[in-house]
Amino acid sequence: MCPASHINDLLKEPVLDLDVEVRGWVHRTRSSGKIVFDVLRDATGIIQVTIKKGNLPDMEFESAQMSHIESSVIVRGRMFKDDRAPGGYEIRASSFTLVGTSAPYPITEYQSEELLLDNRHLWIRSREQTAIMKVKASLMKGARDWLNSNEFYEVTPPIFTQNACEGGVTLFKLKYFDDQAFLSQSAQMYLEALIFSLEKVYAITPSFRAEKSRTTRHLTEFWHLELEEAWTDSKLNMEIQENLVSAMVAKAVEERSEELKLLGRDVADLKEIVPPFKRVTYAQMIDRLKQKEFEIEWGADLGAAEERAVTEDEKVPTFVTNFPRECKAFYMKEDPDDPKTVKCADLLAPEGYGEIIGGSERETDLAKLLERLEANNIPTEAYQWYLDLRKFGSVPHSGFGLGVERVVRWVCKLEHIRDAVPFPRTVARVYP
């Protein structure tokens, strides 16, 4: 018996002189008495199959007639060129095995967003969702390849924590035996501790934030790629980011141009994502926004509308540096050249997709850190271990956190971030 092939392998290198076998799911089906026309789907692609009565045992023909959408099947037969078929070929079946029957499929062509979200466990089989997941896998592979070849160690920080590095309001609290703990919002502090043994570290973990606002770019559980490096200032930190993001995008272009096209993304846009990215200061951003008639003054944080307005015509990402220190977390280093600001950078995606990375050089001055904790009304008990890092051989260091789904949303041109993750968790949904 011939071994089963993947559909795309057959479409790339058609086998015309021998029987082929494919395994997959019925994507579309119609029948006209003596012929059943199926489109089969596997993890790699789709192919047309015609099952004609008389070319195979009657029982198998009847199985084909009974196979509804999403039934799992194994088909054997010959490949023929057919310009009307998707991919240019069809298989004429000489054998048809129904492996798993399918109940009437709840998803038809026009469905409400809610129904698709309720049936997410089935909707992830759609071609669009499949394409997004493949692009995401390539982006993550591109990241790991770049990080590993640049000698960063992948480390495994905890998810249970008592830190609240990104602020108390978005913490998920939980009972931890007789104590209280939180789900991690960021691994940053643990990565800072790890640079003293490994110098260059990164982690890819879920982060949890109880974001109550319904936006198109916030999940309550997202995948966070965080990096921390010893002996690195804010300038070098940005260079690492632009190289990393470019390598991620390049891998997606290399491996997933078909899927990107299906999602409506022109890969020519992505080929422009190469270092250096643009750099502007927060103060310059405020001036630009004022020119665009925004009522904004120095000191206000940039929201989604502001980020969109300044990047919608851009082709490459933009770093916004030197935010006022009141806008940012306590651990960011004061800029000695402009002490009302900190040595930070947010990286904004082009085309108005908004922030994809938040990063900074970290404050190493213990007195300043204590001052900032107090100014932010943060009790220091839970941070004693973190403050210790400044007492035992402190070194200049920097790092950042990249939101994986934010990058996927931009690269795949998605309206909403929930489509960048197979099972989205938002304020309104944790099922399925």
Q: Distance (Å, rounded) from C-alpha 156 to C-alpha 122?
A: 32
Closest separation between CB of residue 221 and ligand ATP, Å?
A: 8
> Euclidean distance between the first and final Cα of the chain, in Å?
40
User: Which one of ligand ATP, Mg ion, none interacts with residue 351, CB within 5 to 8 A by kind?
Assistant: none
Nearer to ligand ATP, 63 or 188 (CB): 188
Q: Which 191-220 positions form the footprint of ligand ATP (CB under 6 A)?
A: 209, 211, 218-219
Based on the shown chain and the rule CB under 5 A, indicate whether residue 399 belongs to the binding site for Mg ion: no
Q: Which 91-120 positions form the footprint of ligand ATP (CB under 6 A)?
A: none
User: Which one of ligand ATP, Mg ion, none interacts with residue 9, CB within 5 to 8 A by kind?
Assistant: none
Q: Distance (Å, rounded) from C-alpha 422 to C-alpha 432?
A: 10
Q: Please identify which residue in 77, 157, 354, 358 interacts with Mg ion, judged by CB under 5 A.
A: 358
N residues, the chain:
432
Q: Which two three-digit tokens encode residue 223?
A: 């995948």
Q: Please identify which residue in 182, 222, 330, 353 interacts with ligand ATP, judged by CB under 6 A.
A: 222
Helix axes 234-262 and 404-411, enclosed angle (nearest 10):
50
User: Angle at CA 130, nearest 5°, toward 139 and 113?
Assistant: 110
Closest separation between CB of residue 314 and ligand ATP, Å?
A: 17
Nearer to ligand ATP, 45 or 358 (CB): 358
Task: Check: CB of residue 68 under 8 Å from CB of residue 101.
Answer: yes
Closest separation between CB of residue 323 and Mg ion, Å?
A: 9
Based on the shown chain and the rule CB under 6 A, indicate whether residue 406 belongs to the binding site for ligand ATP: yes
Q: Which 312-371 positions form the footprint of ligand ATP (CB under 6 A)?
A: 355-358
Nearer to ligand ATP, 97 or 170 (CB): 170
Do strands 200-208 and 153-154 pair parallel, antiparallel, or not at all (unpaired)? parallel
Helix (H, G, I), strand (E, B), or coil: what is residue 405? helix
Nearer to ligand ATP, 40 or 219 (CB): 219
Cβ count within 10 A of residue 11: 19
User: Which one of ligand ATP, Mg ion, none interacts with residue 11, CB within 5 to 8 A by kind?
Assistant: none
Q: Which 131-170 positions form the footprint of ligand ATP (CB under 6 A)?
A: 166
Helix (H, G, I), strand (E, B), or coil: what is residue 142? helix
Based on the shown chain and the rule CB under 5 A, indicate whether residue 401 belongs to the binding site for Mg ion: no
Which range in 237-245, 293-301, 353-361, 417-425 contacts Mg ion by CB under 5 A?
Answer: 353-361
Shortest CA distance to 329 belongs to which of 188, 205, 227, 216?
188
Closest separation between CB of residue 363 and Mg ion, Å?
A: 16
Which range in 25-33, 43-51, 120-128, 358-366 contacts Mg ion by CB under 5 A?
Answer: 358-366
Nearer to ligand ATP, 38 or 228 (CB): 228
For the sheet with 173-176, list strands across it.
Answer: 160-161, 179-183, 173-176
Do strands 397-403 and 354-361 pair parallel, antiparallel, or not at all (unpaired)? antiparallel
Task: Check: CB of residue 355 under 8 Å from CB of residue 308.
Answer: no
Nearer to ligand ATP, 20 or 407 (CB): 407
User: Where is 61: in which H helix or E strand?
Assistant: helix 58-66
Closest separation between CB of residue 357 and ligand ATP, Å?
A: 5
Based on the shown chain and the rule CB under 6 A, indicate whether residue 401 belongs to the binding site for ligand ATP: yes
Q: Which two three-digit tokens encode residue 91?
A: 């298989």
- DSSP code of residue 223: E
User: Which one of ligand ATP, Mg ion, none interacts with residue 401, CB within 5 to 8 A by kind?
Assistant: ligand ATP
Looking at 77-180, list the stretches that DSSP marks H as alpha helix, in order from N- to C-terminal side.
Answer: 113-118, 120-123, 127-149
Closest separation between CB of residue 211 and Mg ion, Å?
A: 13
Based on the shown chain and the rule CB under 5 A, indicate whether residue 317 belongs to the binding site for Mg ion: no
Region for residue 77 given its phi and psi (left: phi exceeds 0; alpha: psi -120 to 50; beta: otherwise): left
User: Which one of Mg ion, ligand ATP, none interacts with residue 211, CB within 5 to 8 A by kind?
Assistant: ligand ATP
Q: Please identify which residue in 191, 405, 414, 419 interacts with ligand ATP, judged by CB under 6 A.
A: 405
The size of the interface with ligand ATP (CB under 6 A), counted in residues, is: 16
Task: Check: CB of residue 78 under 8 Å from CB of residue 41.
Answer: no
Whether the upstream peptide bond of residue 432 has omega within 30° of 0, thus cis, is yes
Nearer to Mg ion, 55 or 170 (CB): 170
Nearer to ligand ATP, 75 or 135 (CB): 135
Q: Distance (Å, rounded) from C-alpha 329 to C-alpha 306?
A: 20
Looking at 184-281, list the stretches that DSSP marks H as alpha helix, in order from N- to C-terminal side.
Answer: 188-198, 234-262, 267-271
State the residues that interact with Mg ion by CB under 5 A: 358
Residues that bind ligand ATP (CB under 6 A): 166, 209, 211, 218-219, 222, 224, 355-358, 401-403, 405-406
